[in-house]
Chain A
Amino acid sequence: MQVDTERLLNAMAKDLQRLLEERGIDHPTLVGLHTGGVWIAQRLQTLLGIPEPLGSLDISFYRDDFSRLGMHPQVKPSHLPFDVDGRHIILVDDVLYTGRTVRAALNELFDYGRPRSVLLAALVDRGGRELPIEANVVGTRLTLRPDENIKLSGPEPLQLILKKKLS
């Protein structure tokens, strides 16, 4: 599958810009979800010209499936190099699917402080939501079957890879 991720990123940046203006948000802060979301947040930061440092979250310790799946073997540190209180945060993920990752990310974010607002941006919305969570900005919407999986590889180049799940 060939998707022009550059085009999607540009479109996302434009949509975000418009949304921020609508809401009167001057100084937003980007927070990427490991690992793909961080790559996208980095790109959006450049495209939007945001001077604030970037935050990153690894939600492994907040997963709701720990009691089923155990620990993820490659946990990365969460790093928010700013005070979350009163900030306008843009959460960035690569693929929005069940919504469970975003639920976990919101919980983790609030353990750092009380943001003024949180927006959600995702490169791909593949449907299949299991929680009442929607993105404010989406690069593209894809309809995938449950046995199909989409992953972002990167950081250079950023590429979406469609895979059939082994079963």
Chain B
Amino acid sequence: MSLTNIQLDNHGRLRHFLTIEGLQRQHLVEILDTAESLSGVAERRVKKLPTLRGKTVVNMFFESSTRTRTTFELAAKRLSADVLNLSISTSSTVKGETLLDTLRNIEAMQCDMFVVRHAQSGTAEFIARHVKPHIAVLNAGDGRHAHPTQAMLDVFTIRRHKLDFANLRVAIVGDILHSRVARSQIHALNILGAGEVRVVAPKTLLPACVETLGVQVFHDLQPGLRDADVIIMLRLQRERMQGALLPSAQEYYQQYGLTEERLALANPDAIIMHPGPINRGMEIDSAVADGPRSVILEQVTNGIAVRMAIMSITLGTHTHPFREDT
């Protein structure tokens, strides 16, 4: 598949990070292990490493985001890179500049990494195909397609709580149809050999042929939660919904909202995750979101170390043709 080739170099090392699909287990484990080493940096007096000193990272956000952009920015800064934040939806594209023109202009500013978020699936890959060879491209979310750094921080968080993927039951609940996060999570969990990956959603919020992704499909919440070790609640993306996919928000909460009561069906040591931002009382009850089994804020913290790992690995690949280990 051409897509997988473009993010790997001739030696199979990551040079861009566009999608989890087509990556090997070793790529994911390398990211997770590197992130583990980087997670201690936040507790030190100097929360900064010199690794990417002199590099410039450009956050190209064609779609708004606070959490993702901020954690990418923090990740780059903790690696001593310089960061440029561009909200492109509000500037040049309104003036009629094409994506390639925007790209050429930013390239001309001698940058080393583009972090791209765009409402259109495939934009990060398109940019990776057209940038100069010294530039690494990271996908920070493209349409419904992929959000691979989010998936990596999710599996990182899971690995910190559950040592072994092989015996895990993971339930992904909610709006799978519009969720690039879910797609990336499913790929990551399957590559890491998760025991069972479930998707739980009404038929209208599931993509066609979802089971071909390697998941068990549940249309009812209760059986979907039974004996789960990890529960990932997805945000109901009302802004992306056109037409009548849902009867009403209230009815959705009644059927698919995660409450303390329903949580009792899962394993007693199950963890609750959510990529954020959460809609309280829409897909998750406040008591659960703020409860002892929720690791939602931990996910945010872990996002920094995981993004630092992906940045240092991909930029590292760009700086040297191949490392001869001594």
Contact = CB atoms under 8 A, between A and B. Distances in A.
B319 interface: yes
Contacts of B317: 70-71
Contacts of A164: none
B40 A77 contact: yes
B323 A69 contact: yes
Interface string A67-82: 1111111111111000
A15 B315 CA distance: 43
Interface in B73-111: 79
Given A75-B33, A111-B44, A111-B46, A61 B316 contact: no
A36 B316 CA distance: 24
Interface residues of A, number: 25
A107 interface: yes
Interface in B304-326: 312-313, 315-320, 323, 325-326
A78 B41 CA distance: 9
B51 A74 contact: no
Contacts of B325: 73
Interface string A103-140: 00001001111000000000000000000000000000
A71 B34 contact: yes
A75 B320 contact: no
B320 A76 contact: no
A79 B34 contact: no
Interface string A49-87: 000000000101110001111111111111100000000
A71 B50 contact: no
B312 A58 contact: no
A62 B44 CA distance: 15
14 contacts: A61-B312, A66-B51, A66-B316, A66-B319, A67-B319, A68-B319, A69-B320, A69-B323, A70-B316, A75-B37, A76-B37, A111-B49, A149-B326, A165-B326
Interface of A: 58, 60-62, 66-79, 107, 110-113, 149, 165
Given A75-B34, A111-B48, 12 more contacts: A61-B79, A66-B51, A67-B319, A69-B320, A76-B37, A77-B36, A77-B39, A78-B37, A78-B40, A111-B49, A112-B45, A149-B326
Interface of B: 30, 33-34, 36-40, 44-46, 48-51, 54, 79, 312-313, 315-320, 323, 325-326
